[in-house]
Homo-oligomer: A and B are copies of this chain.
């Protein structure tokens, strides 16, 4: 079932068939209809690799995530999937396993097979990302690099809200539980927290870095207790849930003795115990927006919308409360 079969069947040249199918505007109406009818009858489906070879367009976009099992990405992946589907694109999913080296390698191998890349939480240094931009349309998520289009969830603003929340509850010693060291979002959140604390004449402390996983959260909990702080803000919910878990095991009351605030509002944040106070993140929207930016970049339209910032807000649940009297 190729374009040639349709050509033979309808008596048109293959090129006309090609046009009728991929740029219907450029052929006569009756021609188009005859060809499209034949295509339908013969159950014709275009051969993507062949099309890619001659046109350079693969109708495929790669989505790189640092860890597929991190629930944070699922909304993102789904948002991207939806938007891609609507535009007739396929999604190649790539797990970089939190490794900059692997990320680089995979990026170079997919380069030829995709029309663009969405870099979600890239672990690459900024210059590397800029380098890729030269070869391929790129949109980053939760990551900024000069000249690279991005959609970032405004967690720094959320972190400020979280700090205000904790301070209003009487907390004075709040620690930041840091995530992976090469995460851009991690630095952004830490900076926001320092600023917010400073505004109240308080110093923020920091422990970590920790991997973005529940297991790391357990280790973090112990380190946290050693600091004597009455509250913490964790890089993400995975870590926060790990902390909750470990604190529970050690019989530490949350929020009675210590308050825990997470980030991202992932699946589970609302039903862990106690339910986690966290920063809601419009993840699915981020995925959709990233894709639409990537695709309109392909079409070279709208030079606006280079860097989109999506709002967050603090979702207060039961893991945060009044600071204990000391």
**Interface set of A (CB-CB < 8 Å, partner B):** 43, 45-50, 52-53, 58, 60, 68-69, 71, 74-75, 77-78, 81, 85, 90-95, 108-113, 241, 244-245, 267-268, 271-273
Contacts and interface: CB of A to CB of B under 8 A. Distances in A.
A44 to B, nearest CB: 10
A109 B49 contact: no
Number of this chain's copies in the assembly equals 2
B272 A48 contact: no
Given A69-B74, A241-B271, 10 more contacts: A48-B113, A49-B53, A49-B113, A50-B53, A53-B53, A69-B267, A81-B95, A85-B95, A90-B92, A92-B93
Contact of A71 (B74, B77, B272): B74
A71 to B, nearest CB: 6
A31 B53 CA distance: 28
Contacts of A49: 48-50, 52-53, 58, 112-113
29 contacts: A43-B108, A45-B111, A46-B112, A47-B53, A48-B113, A49-B53, A49-B113, A60-B92, A60-B113, A68-B77, A69-B74, A69-B75, A69-B267, A71-B71, A77-B93, A81-B93, A81-B94, A81-B95, A90-B110, A90-B113, A91-B92, A92-B92, A92-B93, A93-B93, A268-B268, A268-B271, A268-B272, A272-B272, A272-B273
A76 to B, nearest CB: 10
Contacts of A109: 45
Contacts of A77: 68, 93
Contact of A271 (B53, B74, B92, B272): B272
Contact of A74 (B74, B92, B112): B74
Contacts of A111: 45
Contacts of A92: 60, 90-93
A167 B310 CA distance: 51
Contacts of A53: 47, 49-50, 53
